[in-house]
Chain A
Amino acid sequence: MLRPLPRTPSRLNRAEMSMRDKIWQINWSLITVLAAIASVGFATLYSAAQGSMEPWATKQMVRFAVGIGLMISVAMIDLRFWMRHAYTFYAIAFVLLVLVELKGTIGMGAQRWIDLGFIQLQPSEIMKIALILSLARYFHGAGQQEIGRPLFLIPPMIMVFAPAILVLKQPDLGTAMMLVMSSGALFFMAGVRIWKFVVVITGALAAIPVAWQFLREYQKKRVLIFLNPEDDPLGAGYHITQSKIALGSGGLFGKGYMMGTQSRLNFLPEKQTDFIFTMFAEEWGMMGGLVLLGLYALLLAYGYAIAIRCRSQFGRLVAHGIATTFFLYFFINTAMVMGLVPVVGVPLPLISYGGTAMLSLLLGWGLVMSAYIHRDIPISRRGMGED
């Protein structure tokens, strides 16, 4: 799975690697898994367009190709560069978030995009990566004793909640929750005591009735409908009911590729984005669903293996953080379409049609690969070479 280390003299001088060494280290099997998952997406988008490359499949393939290129570029760049500029990226992402809040393009009833002309930029996606980088940097520089001090945890908490609140205001409950949850995982991995999590989670649960007041009407409705979808079978519960029908009617082996009647006849809402898993599972059945789940699990395993192999805490945290974010993406999405969690707008990673999510995810995996390539480079507290 993971390549043996190259027998090069640079092993003695781990701080510096030649470009040739780095290229030798490119993890092709990881890219293969990514490509396999993306291919499932292409095929499903092709089917969603009734057997046509337009309007989705071609664009998605181009994005994936560009994304893989960017991913390799990111992987080539020294991990220390990413660490050194982690806070800068965070600052940029934060400013962009504030910008959409001030003057965002209105779309889907929510302010989520900045129109840069050539791309619809979604700053919350950038923030997902930037937050992991900056939290990893913060905890990288912290000793075990420091992490034990509650005051030490206040800056990263602000780092998490400031963007999370902005995203929630857009409103984008799904992304806000993902920011908080993936950060939580990072805190955990950094070694924050478990009892502190217990306290925070208990406190959060206690705050639910208060938070309820701040939810938008449609968000409240979504939660209520989730708790009892039959309440509103033709309204807000329609999505989830139809999704379950399409998925369930797929059965063990599915209705066959391009034969999904429910999605074909538009009973399935947003079949090319958030509900693409339903469409896939209708056509490929439980077997197809399990294969896809297996591919995701494999990708996750790569992330874990890389994280554990990393010599630096920064690399470990980044690799694990990206893997966890990725996990949250596909878990929330699939659990949502299966009616296990409320309907929140989270795409199925690498498969749902959409540009920013695809790019940010591949950039994320580029960072993971960078952590792999530079796994043996010791990084000082300030982001330099050996301590």
Chain B
Amino acid sequence: MYHDNDRSKLFTRRAMMLAGGKATLMGALAARMYYLQVMEADKYAVQAEDNRISTRLLAPPRGLILDRNGIAMAVNQHNYRVMVVAEQTPSLDYTLDALSKIITIGDGDRARIHKEVRRRRSFVPLSVRENLTWEEVARVEVNAADLPGVVIDVGQSRYYPLESLGAHILGYVSAVSENELSGDPLEELPGFRIGKGGVERIYDMALRGRHGTSTLEVNSVGRVIRELERKEGEPGIDLNLTLDMKLQEYAAQRLGDESAAVVVMDIHTGDVLVMASTPSFDPNSFNRGLSNEEWKDLSTNPRSPLTNKAIGGTFAPGSTFKMLTALAALEARDITPEMRVFCSGHTQLGSIKFHCWKKEGHGAQDLVNGIKNSCDVYFYEVARRVGYEKIAEMAKKFGLGAPTGIDLPGEKAGIIPNKAWKKAALKQPWHPGETLINAIGQGYVTATAMQLATMTARIANGGFAVVPHVARDQISEKTARSRTAPSWPSLDVSRQSLAWVRKGMFAVSNEPGGTAYKARITQEGMWLSGKTGSAQVRRITMRERETGVKKNDQLPWKERDHALFVAYAPEENPRYSIAVIVEHGGGGSAVAAPIARDIMIEVQKRDMARVAADTGGDSIAPDLRRF
């Protein structure tokens, strides 16, 4: 007994020691619990939410693009996609085989799916094919029972119902490339398209709208359990353009197969009503995906259908430039309108002979006749008097040599050369002869149709620096508000000088013998005043002059003159300006002027119809008293 008693005491003592140890360890557990659940609780709570909550973006519908009368130019179409969920299929290959009996699935698609299925979790739907036709959708739905794991999903894709009409203005949409990322989370969405080119690009942010979010509860492998919250985004702003697609259609038809550009704008507001560039392309084909052949056709066509020639094509303005030469001289008081210059068919500067387009000469010419007959010798003399720098200055005032600032991407600046430019660009000094050549819109001078229309508008509106635009509303990043009545800055050109120039332009198309007399508008109240231009693209040699200059139709297309015509109408109270450039079209009077006339008749007809319907009319046109 004593013996066991001894053991019992030892046992109790040691039990207490061990119990103490255990109590200490349990204290450590409690302390750890306190540390994790009280001191670090906030940190873990945040991590737990991160674990659980997954936010997905909802793409808002892209804003529509409409013309000034509400004709839809860009809309959103349902894009039916067929998707497959790998984990719901007995075998992916089996399902794809079954599916390919119903709709066509390319080998490329198949390879892509197999590649993706290995990277994605098995419950993530994989896109098999996009842009299913309604018939294909129906076929898949009917066979749904035999296609486990196959789902039809509806997305949106852009559709341009007018197809090639206005394609250059609209641009197109396509996937975001790496260097286009702006930080908008929408860009991360697979299948998200952004605007490329045209108004789709320049107003992309406004058209996109604001993304919505769907807050989802997900489990540890990312499978969605349920939606906790849904915030719809804001659809993109609908963009109303200043363009009139009916006129645009007429203009495009009138230009036909020519490689040409036409711009019609409101000389007071800067609204662009027509901006046609032919040949054009169908922007929908970009959405569908171009075949190599189609792309080759588009990109190598010498008439460059992908270029918006109205703002992206630069041409020598030819005689349409002469108004600026006249204005520079009038403003500098280096000539008077009455001053006469005798044209014998050519003039001499040093040892070089400068020819007039009319070999036999025009005889004595004053300003109005000089413009009316487009007499080169008259303008050689004017340029000689005023000097080239002042002409360049005047050209810039009227919108040449720099982008007009129209709300479209890809606008070219054109060139208004001067001594400094030549030295910088060509590292050559200025020759006196170049003054004469450039003064009649040849030489280094180039301009776009948009610039010429703007120039004409500024002449017609009394010397205000109107800037063209295609969006009816003032669009900033993500908002739109109506444009206020524009008050353009004055160009500081006297009304008299402008009136004399306009008198010359009136004579061009309304006095017998004027270069565009044959293309005059005879309808009362629609008369137009204009200026022809034929820009040489080749050098005429002395020998050719002796044997007779070749006519345009004897030359290959690439060597023919560019035909140009600028005009404004109606004569009494000008409202619209137009610029027509037909690349390698031949003579301005024979080719470009009739096109301009026809379009301007159409423009004014629609205008009259509108005025008849709504007698309010706008009265922002300044009073332009005629001489």
Binding site for B on A (CB under 8 A): 143-144, 185, 188-189, 191, 242, 244-252, 261-262, 265-267, 281, 285-286, 289-290, 293, 296-297, 300, 304, 307-308, 311-313, 316, 320, 324, 327, 331, 334-335, 338-340, 378
Contact = CB atoms under 8 A, between A and B. Distances in A.
Q: Contact size class for B?
A: 35 or more
Contact of A251 (B38, B218, B219): B38
Interface residues of A: mostly helix, strand, loop or mixed? helix
Interface of B: 3-4, 6-8, 10-12, 14-15, 18-19, 22-23, 25-26, 28-30, 32-34, 36-38, 40-41, 43-45, 47-48, 51-52, 217-221, 225
B45 A248 contact: yes
A251 B221 contact: no
Contact of B15 (A293, A308, A312): A308
A293 B219 contact: no
A263 to B, nearest CB: 10
Nearest to A289: B33
A312 B11 CA distance: 11
A281 B32 CA distance: 12
A248 B220 contact: no
B221 A244 contact: no
Contacts of A262: 48, 51-52
Contacts of A246: 44, 48
Contacts of B217: 261, 265
A311 B12 CA distance: 12
B36 A247 contact: yes
A378 B3 CA distance: 13
A265 B18 contact: no
Given A143-B3, A248-B37, 17 more contacts: A185-B18, A248-B47, A249-B41, A250-B41, A251-B38, A261-B48, A265-B52, A266-B221, A267-B51, A293-B30, A296-B26, A304-B19, A308-B11, A311-B4, A331-B22, A335-B25, A340-B29
A189 B18 contact: yes
B55 to A, nearest CB: 16
Given A248-B45, A316-B8, A338-B33, A300 B22 contact: yes
B42 to A, nearest CB: 8
Nearest to B46: A249
A89 B498 CA distance: 121
B220 A266 contact: yes
Nearest to A140: B7
18 contacts: A247-B44, A248-B40, A249-B45, A252-B41, A265-B219, A266-B220, A267-B219, A267-B220, A286-B34, A290-B30, A304-B15, A304-B19, A312-B4, A316-B8, A324-B18, A334-B29, A338-B29, A339-B32
Nearest to A338: B32
Nearest to B7: A313
B47 A331 contact: no
A245 B38 contact: no
Nearest to B53: A261
A144 B9 CA distance: 12
Nearest to A255: B48
Contacts of B34: 286
A297 B6 CA distance: 28
A293 B33 CA distance: 11
B44 A245 contact: yes
B13 to A, nearest CB: 10
Contacts of B47: 245, 248-249
A290 B33 CA distance: 8
B48 A251 contact: no
B28 A313 contact: no
A314 to B, nearest CB: 11
Contact of B36 (A188, A248, A308): A248
Contacts of B7: 144, 191, 313
A191 B18 CA distance: 12
